[in-house]
Structure 1
Amino acid sequence: MKIAQFKPQFFVLFLATLFVSCVYEPVDGTVEPDPGSGGNTSGIFKADFNNNTWTAAETQVVISGNFIEISAIKSNGEGFAFQIEANETGTYAANVNIVAYSPAGSEYGYWSLNDDNPDENTGSITITKIDTEKKTISGTFQFKGYWSDPDTPRAAIEFKNGVFTDLPYITEEETNDSFSAKVGGTNFVSTDILAFEINSGADDWITIGASDTNMNEISISVRTGLAAGTTYPITVNRLTDDVQASYEDENGEHEAVSGSVKIISITEDRIQGTFSFTTNGTPSINVTEGSFDVAY
């Protein structure tokens, strides 16, 4: 599956864990809040489905260099999450952006992409107003959502009459996370950062991804439980390495085959480190002077 913004290695994982333990951060803003974590309670976010009107108790919005991120939840954890490749008003197709609803307590959800027919017009999101003085955003949406777990199929749901009005937003300048590196000696300047934890039993990972204005991407993954102050090597054995990395550009994904990641500090919700690596392929790509300091 390929989705328009971050490449599949980011977003398939992002969507699979969207309402469980991940944090999507366009340059450090938290889009998906935990219930009671202090998100915005002003403004309105609602939609009709299953013969009921759903109204959010809490929202968070971030407008970054490339994306508009909207999260809306109830106190039980169910909610909507949007990621739109835009930073201005307009109407955007749902099937080439991220539009999702997840029930309470589920790691799966109803996505705006039909895996059996990716070109299907499943709906749209319209950004009607971005008030830069009041720092609020308004718009409408409607989409057909397909259940994301192929092993337990469910009927698609039509989400109608969606509206969000005067939701407060923050911008990348107001956040604290950072990600930088040099690719072939040229500065890689991140405009969007994705950080999340994947819980899969004994093999849990923290993944940090960053995109620049040209949609080139760097991904760093580290196993949870690593020690601060320790440098971990990258080898060609992705099954046993404690850290992994890759770089992706218009020519595709280039996996790291050597290098290292140093963990400077790590807590239950934030990680800081440095990295450098060399990729496979001919010619190989050297990524140097890498650093990150992100919440996840």
Structure 2
Amino acid sequence: MKKKYFLFLLISTIGFLSSCNQDFDSGLDFSNSENNGNESAGEKAIFSAKIGDEEFVANTTTAVVTDDYVLIAGTRSSKGDLIQIILPSNKVGTYTWAENQENAEKFVLAYVQGVDGYAFVSASNEDAAFLGVQNYTDTAIIKITGVNKTKKTISGTFQFTGFSDTEDGSTAIKVITKGNFENIPYTDDIPAEDSDDVLKAKIDGVDYTNNKVDVSSVIASGSNPYYSIVGKNNNDNSSVGLMINKSYSVGTYEASSNLSVEEGELVNVIGASYRTNDLLYNSKSGSLTITSKTAEKMEGTFNFVVHNFTTDDEKTITGSFSIDIKI
């Protein structure tokens, strides 16, 4: 029996989201503040919600604001759980699945039960039905109610319903209501980091130019942990991506998928993607070869055929990579 799983949820890093100049001040904004009831710029920072009937109050918050997206997360250290919100814009207003279906990679709502716990992920009713999720109703409404440019804080409200596959193959549901993030600080004091990561690619034999390569470690529902490598061309907003199972050593591996898996087993992920002109191409066939791997570095080559379901078009992606895996 094949069982569908939802798209990967990025928990340990936000590297796959492209960095860019921030809308309010220059530079990437980031904060990781221990609130603990302390006030930020004279006002208390609050991140709270109800998970079912249980009160959730975070004592640690994270906020990132760029031209491209907003990330807000609250962690409750007493239980090690967290709520994460990613939105595809930094504008004050209301966000739902109806308006953000095309920006699914930048519209993430999740409740995570600790580092090794289940991730309950929001989806539209259509996607949940496609994935075979039973008894699920989309309730996602996120509002950014204010951004204080002087004090560098962001506020808003949220609610959503998340689902997760359990070890016995059933689906668990969590309903998050009365969500509130108030005066969550963001700062602009993180310097840009130099990167030695390299992703060289050809699309149908033509060189692909990327302005930046992001590497992140991904925890995915239904699949083994893997590295995500994304090279992006900021001039046309296109990107080339690779997914590589973290446990793989030197060798050649055929393309696999993180969208389906035999019940009770974790899928091994090897794949590629290409995004251009709002079209997403995903792996159809091909392979990736890891030519060298140490505790700090991994290098290899790849050759994939990627396919877009909307246009039924196919493209060939070939190339090489060299990445730092101390992440």
TM over 0.5: yes
Alignment of 1:248-263 (within 5 A): 248-249=274-275, 250=279, 252-255=281-284, 257-263=286-292
1:182 aligns with 2:201: yes
Q: What is the rounded CA distance, in whole Å, between the counterparts of 2:291 and 2:73 in structure 1?
A: 32
User: Following TM superposition, by how much is the alpha carbon of 1:101 offset from its aligned partner in structure 2, in angstroms?
Assistant: 1.8
Asked whether 1:56 is paired with 2:85, we answer no
| 8 A contact 2:120–2:173 mirrored in 1 | no
Q: Which of 116, 122, 125 is the aligned partner of 1:111? A: 122
Cα distance change, pair 157–66 in 1 and its aligned pair in 2 (3 A): same
Separation (CA, whole Å) in 2 of partners of 1:64 and 1:179: 24
For residue 87 of structure 2, the aligned residue among 73, 77, 84 is: 84
Aligned counterparts of 1:110 and 1:251: Cα–Cα separation in 2? 21
Q: SS state of the match for residue 34, structure 2? A: coil
Q: What SS is found at the alignment partner of 1:253?
A: strand
- Report the TM-score, using the length of structure 1 for normalisation: 0.67
Computing the radius of gyration from Cα coordinates, the structure with the larger value is 2
2:34: which partner in 1? 41
> Is the contact between residue 244 and residue 256 of structure 1 (CA under 8 Å) also seen in structure 2?
no
Does the 8 A contact of 2:9 with 2:219 survive in 1?
no
Which of 160, 164, 177 is residue 144 of structure 1 equivalent to?
Answer: 160
Mapping of 1:170-209 within 5 angstroms?
A: 174-175=192-193, 178=197, 180-183=199-202, 184-190=206-212, 193-197=215-219, 204-209=224-229
Change (3 A) 1:173 1:66: farther
RMSD of the TM alignment (CA)? 4.2
The letter for the 1-side match of 2:305 is N
**Which segments of 5 or more consecutive residues in structure 2 lack a partner in the other structure?**
20-30, 101-106, 131-135, 262-267, 307-312
Query: Partner letter of residue 33 of structure 2?
Result: N
Total equivalences in the alignment: 260
Structure 2 CA distance, aligned partners of 1:180 and 1:65? Answer: 24
Q: Distance in 2 between matches of 1:41 and 1:155?
A: 29
Distance 1:119 1:171 in 2: 40
Q: 1:193 to 1:159 in 2, by over 3 A?
A: farther
- Distance of 1:284 and 1:262 partners within structure 2: 24
Match of 2:177 in 1: 159
The answer to which of 73-82 and 52-61 deviates more is 52-61
Percent same amino acid at aligned positions? 8
Query: 2:146 maps to which residue?
Result: 128
**Matches of 2:326 and 2:188, distance apart in 1:** 16
